[in-house]
């Protein structure tokens, strides 16, 4: 099951990476569109500023009145303000899409690393099968699965990491295996605490009963 699981993860990471790549391409297209809009609006603002000179020249040639000149300059300034606002909006959208490109590139890098990691895991399992550390068997329905060979060691006697099928308990780790041996040598430190401590309670002394108090009668009383 380890190889199949790794291959499923690899396919999932690959599919997610392709979707991120598609979104990144769209974001890069938007960045280029914003750059084109910024350049065009900047050129339009410069052309509008040039029109002020034309109107001023006509005023000097007595073709228009002073009132007409002031009105023309006012209209040109309003149009220029609108164009500059559009240019700033395009710059903001460009920055937004550039941030999107960088974020998607980071996500693609993570997917690529995970894809390669799962590939190395699958290769490690196949290598373990070839070395006899893990061998493959088939279930009753013919589905292959991996079975861990107990106490697997390398040629120099060192223990190795082996693949474990899904649903199989990994067993005790080194610390858990050493604990019973250490307890047997040193004794259980909680053993004394578990013993019942019986304290002898001295018997209570019986209180002496007091004699009834005599009441003296006054003389002359009936």
DSSP string, 100-159: HHHHHHHHHHHHHHHHHHHHHHHHHHHHHHHHTSEEEEE-TTS-EEEEEPTT-B-TTS-B
175 φ, ψ (degrees, to nearest 5): -65, -40
What pLDDT score was predicted for residue 80? 92
Q: What is the structure's pLDDT at 202? A: 59
For 45-61, how does the pLDDT look when each residue is reduced to its tens digit (9 = 90+)? 999 988 888 888 888 88
pLDDT band per the 50, 70, 90 thresholds, residue 29: very high
pTM for the full predicted model: 0.51
């Amino acid at each position: 099951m380890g190889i199949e699981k790794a291959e499923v993860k690899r396919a999932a990471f690959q599919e997610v990476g392709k979707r991120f790549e598609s979104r990144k391409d769209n974001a890069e297209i938007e960045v280029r569109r914003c750059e084109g809009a910024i350049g065009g609006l900047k050129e339009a603002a410069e052309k509008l500023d040039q029109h002020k000179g034309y109107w001023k020249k006509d005023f000097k040639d007595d073709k228009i009145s002073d009132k007409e000149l002031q009105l023309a300059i006012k209209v040109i300034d309003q149009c220029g303000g609108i164009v500059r606002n559009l240019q700033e909006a395009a710059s903001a959208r460009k920055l937004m899409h550039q941030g999107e490109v960088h974020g998607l590139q980071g996500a693609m890098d993570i997917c690529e690393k995970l894809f390669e990691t799962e590939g190395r895991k699958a290769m490690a399992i196949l290598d373990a099968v070839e070395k006899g550390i893990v061998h493959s068997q088939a279930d009753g329905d013919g589905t292959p699965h991996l079975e861990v060979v107990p106490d697997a060691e390398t040629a120099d006697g060192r223990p190795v990491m082996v693949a474990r099928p899904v649903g199989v308990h990994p067993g005790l780790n080194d610390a858990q295996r050493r604990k019973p041996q250490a307890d047997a040598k040193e004794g259980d430190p909680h053993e004394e605490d578990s013993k019942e401590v019986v304290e002898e309670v001295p018997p209570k002394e019986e209180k002496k009963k007091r004699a009834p108090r005599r009441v003296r009668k006054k003389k002359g009383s009936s």
